[in-house]
Structure formats: C-alpha cells, structure tokens
Amino acid sequence: MTAETVAVATEPSLVDLLDRLLGKGVVLSGDVVISLAEVDLVRVQLSAVIQSVRKELSPHD
C-alpha cells in the first residue's frame, strides 16, 4: 500500500485550502485575523467570500 493508491493527487479545492490557510474551518468562521505591522490586528469579514464560493460551486442557487 503506497500513498498514491489511497490519496487523491489532484489540485486541492479552494475550500480545503482556505480551511487551512485561514486557520479555522472556513464555513464556520466569520473572519480572519490579519497581522499588519508589529502589533496591529485587523479583522476582516470573510462572509462575502464564503458566499461567493458557495455561489460559484453550487449548480443552482
């Protein structure tokens, strides 16, 4: 049994990527912490992004 026989070796989906790159489940989390400069933390709402991911991937809607 090798990795190739089990794993799907395709380009990761955007949702899987954002699940990880944003550090939290993208479907649940409403925002992401962005570190700007030394201490500034900016919270950016990602709901619009999630909405458009949904719209893009959903066949109807």
Q: Which residues contribute to the site for other proteins (CB under 8 A)? A: 1-3, 5-8, 12, 14-28, 32-42, 44, 46, 48-49, 52-54, 56-59, 61
Residue 42 CB, nearest approach to other proteins (Å): 5
Residue 49 CB, nearest approach to other proteins (Å): 6
Residue 46 CB, nearest approach to other proteins (Å): 6
The two tokens of residue 38 are: 């030394």
